[in-house]
Structure 1
Amino acid sequence: MNETSLDEFVAEKGQSEAARLLGVTPPAIYKAIAARRHIRVLELSAGVFQASELRPFPSQATKLQVA
């Protein structure tokens, strides 16, 4: 199994092919890279890829409440 960042995967495969292999649209790939999301792509077998994202928890900033 081979694991790479989304940036490296797109550089190797091209944006359209990367999107097709991951089952998303090319604009979704562009937006994920532009937003600097931490997405890793894992090659499960020849030609089968899976992407996962590491996100902080909670994913949205919590606002402090002043009493």
Structure 2
Amino acid sequence: MPRITLSQFAAEKGQTKAASLLGMSQGALNKALRVGRDIYVTEHADGSFAAEEIRPFPCQVQLKKSA
């Protein structure tokens, strides 16, 4: 699986299962989606998943998604 956005991953797997696969709570995943964090998910060869966030450096201001 190529690198996909967290929102695409959650849409494919469902928020509860996506959160479980990433080792986080569903509430934390929902909040990350709500505020628009720039997070990408990659599937490893062994079937596990990893997520990474892209942020400006240095980042002193919290990024928020406009509603």
TM-score range, shorter chain: 0.7 to 0.9
The structure richer in strand per residue is 1
TM-score w.r.t. structure 2 length?
0.84
The structure 1 segments of at least 4 consecutive aligned residues displaced by more than 2 Å after TM superposition are none
Instruction: Give the aligned CA root-mean-square deviation in angstroms.
Output: 1.2
Structure 2 residue 27 is matched with structure 1 residue 16: no
Task: Point out where structure 1 has 5 or more consecutive residues left out of the alignment.
Answer: 62-67
TM-score w.r.t. structure 1 length?
0.84
- AA partner of residue 38 (structure 1): D
Cα distance in structure 2, aligned partners of 1:18 and 1:24: 9
2:3 alignment partner, SS class:
strand
The size of the alignment, in residue pairs, is 61
Cα distance in structure 1, aligned partners of 2:17 and 2:59: 29
Cα deviation, residue 45, structure 1: 2.1
Cα distance in structure 2, aligned partners of 1:33 and 1:60: 20
Task: Point out where structure 2 has 5 or more consecutive residues left out of the alignment.
Answer: 62-67
Q: Which is greater in Rg? A: 1
- AA partner of residue 42 (structure 1): T
